[in-house]
Structure formats: C-alpha cells, structure tokens
Structure 1
Amino acid sequence: MARPRTPLLDRARIGATALRLVDEQGDFSVPQIARELGVRTASVYHHVDGRAGVIELLREHVGAAIDPATLETTPWDAALESWARSYRAAFAAHPRTIPLLTVSPVRAPRVLALYERACGVLLDAGFAASEVIPVIVAVENVVLGSALDLAAPETMWEVADPADTPRLAAAVAHAGPHRADTAFELSLAGVMERVRGMRG
C-alpha cells in the first residue's frame, strides 16, 4: 500500500487544532484533539509531551504572529513599544489562550529566542541584568491585560438608571468607541515613562 503523501499527524496540525478548540471553547483536552484529527490519543502523545507540550504549541502558534523585526527598531524604547503593540495584536486574535499560557513556563525555542532578543535590547540600552525581567514582565502585564480587554464587551458597565450612578453613567457615555485602545496607550505610556526613568 502506498504511503499517504502528507502525514496524518504532525505538530503543526496538533497545534492548529488545539488553537481552534481554545478559540471556540477556552480549553482543550488531548483526547479531544485526537478525535478532531481522527486519530488515537496515543498517536498525539507520540508528537507532544502531553498537555504541557500542546500548550507550548499554542504558544508557538500565537507567538509566530509577533513581529521580531520590531525589536530591531531604534532607539531601544521605540523597539519596546513596537514589540508591545505587535505582541498585543497577536494575543488579541486569540485571547482565550492567555489563561493557559500565563500559568505554564515558556519552553518553546522560537518564543525563547524572541525573549532573548528583548533582553538584548534592554541590556544594550544599559539596563542592569536585574532590571531586564521586571521590565519585560511589566510590559507583558499591559499587553496581556489589554488583549483580554479587547475581547470584552465594548461597554463593561451596564447602567440601568443613570440617576443611581450619575458620574459613572457620564464617564461611560464619554469613554468613546475605542476604549480598549485608549486604555492600552495610556497604560503603555505610563510603564514606558517609568522604564525610561530607570536609566537615570
């Protein structure tokens, strides 16, 4: 019998299937991935190290949309801001992956390489080694929080009777159509101002 021209199963198909399931329902199971692909669960385990391995595939899929060229921008602070915007866009497309990824250590080589470049940008800019990870995590807090905010309803406060909460009702009415984008820029600007100040 001739072999199929394309393999029935590979890491790319497993990752893409897991990502679709997470986008649809917020989670996945390895048996569910196997059912979706029409293979046995054991076959999936031949390609990934269980659930943790699938989570790393999710990280690779989402991380592939982050433009590494942003970290080649100069000066360093422009690079960090550009990276943050690309990072946010990547996760805004798949916000339901965030709770899964934030509780699992980063192991994917391609994603680690991106962090390596970000570390290099900060170290080359004169930051102390002890400052690098706090800066990166601070930017990530803004990015991931904002990506989740983009998935939220445009109006998060349902004011049934403005007379009960008049100041809140007025603030909501004046928030504008791009509340999440405005809040992201405000948060990023605040973090970047503090980070610039760290260089003395």
Structure 2
Amino acid sequence: MGRPRTPLLDRERITTTALELVDEQGDFSVPQIAKRLGTQTGSVYHHVDGRDGIVELLRERVTSAIDPGTLDVTPWDAALEAWARSYRAAFAAHPKAIPLLMTSPVRAPRVLEHYERAVTLLLDAGFTPAEVMPVLIALENLILGSALDLSAPETMWELTEETPTPRLAQALAAVGEHRADQAFEVGLAGFLDHVRHILANGA
C-alpha cells in the first residue's frame, strides 16, 4: 500500500485541531488531538514540542489574523488605534483561547517579532523605554477584556422583582444593542487620550 499523497499528520493539522478543541471547550489535551486526528498520542509529539509547543502554535495561528500593516499607519496614535481594532477582532474570533494564551509565556518567534514592531512604534514616537510596556500591557488588557465581552450573552444582568433596580433597568434599556462595541470605544478613546498625555508630559 503506497503512502498517502497528503500527510495524515503535520503541524498545521495539529494546530487546527487544537484550536477546534479550544473553541469548543476552552482547552485541549494531546490525547484529544490524537483521537480526533485518528492517530496515536506519541505520533503527535513527533511533530510538536509538547503541550507548550502546541500553545505557541495556537498563539501564532490566532495572532496571524492581526493586520501587521496597522503598525505602519501614521501618526503613531492612529497606528495604535488601528492595531487595537485588528487585535480585538482576531481574538474575538477565538475568545476561549484568551485565558490559555494569556497565562503562558510568549515564545513564538513571529509573535515576538510583532511585539518588537509595536515597541519600535512607541519608541520612535518618543516614549521612554520605561513607559512602553505599561502602555502596551494596558492596551492588551483593554483589547482582550473587550474580546471576551463580545462573546458574553447579550443579557448579562438578569433583573428580578425581588431586587428592585430601576436605575439599572433604565441604563440597560438605553444602551441598546452593541453595548460591548460602545464600551470598547469609550475605553479606547480614554486610553489614547491618556497615552498622548504621557507622551506630552511624562507618566
């Protein structure tokens, strides 16, 4: 029996399967990947550097949806805003991956290169080295929190007669649809105003 034209197992298939599992249940295991691909667990390990290696493949896959061209926009604050929107969209497509990816060290070379570009953008704009990472981490916190919010139920507050909350009811009725998008716009505008102040006046 000849060998199949298409390999039954490779890093792309492993990554795709791991991401499917994460999208479904928020995590994955190597035996689950092997079972879904119809192979042995040991065979998966021949292609990846253990579970941590698969996590980094997932990181590369999810972040590959971030448009790198956003960091070439001018001026710097327009670039940061465009990057934030693209970053949010990439992670909003896989919200269950956020806790997994944000609680493990970043090792993937392509992702590190992306961070290098973001840091360079801020340094070239005039931020001091000490200011750069707090700015980037604060922006990521806003982006990832908002990406999770996009996956939340539309009704996050269940009002009951037992606990009268007329003002809350009024506010919820007034916000209408797309509350997550509206909240992101408020947060992003406030963030950008603050970092412009940092650049002009120091932290």
Question: How does the TM-score come out when normalised to structure 2?
Answer: 0.95
For 1:78 and 1:155, the matched residues in 2 are separated by: 33
1:105: Cα distance to partner? 0.6
3-state SS, counterpart of residue 174 of structure 1: helix
Matches within 5 A, 1:24-173: 24-161=24-161, 164-173=164-173
Q: Secondary structure at the match of 1:152?
A: coil
1:163 Cα offset (Å): 7.3
Alpha-carbon shift at residue 132 of structure 1 (Å): 1.0
CA distance in 1 between counterparts of 2:160 and 2:42 reads: 53
Structure 1, unpaired ranges of 5+? none
Counterpart AA for 1:31: P
Question: Which 5+ residue runs of structure 2 have no aligned equivalent?
Answer: none
Q: Distance in 2 between matches of 1:112 and 1:47?
A: 22
2: distance between equivalents of 1:47 and 1:185? 42
Maintained 8 Å contact 1:162/1:169: no
Which one is further off, 37-46 or 144-153? 37-46
Q: Distance in 2 between matches of 1:197 and 1:112?
A: 27
* Deviating more after overlay: 161-170 vs 117-126: 161-170
Offset of 1:176 from its aligned partner? 1.5
> How far is 1:160 from its partner?
2.0
Q: State the TM-score, normalizing by the size of structure 1.
A: 0.97
Task: State the aligned residue count.
Answer: 200
Mapped to 1, the partners of 2:190 and 2:91 lie a distance apart of 21
The whole-number CA distance in structure 1 between the counterparts of 2:50 and 2:97 is 17
- 1:180 offset after TM fit, Å? 0.2
Question: What is the rounded CA distance, in whole Å, between the counterparts of 1:150 and 1:121 in structure 2?
Answer: 28
Root-mean-square deviation (Å) = 1.2
* Percent of aligned pairs sharing the same letter: 69
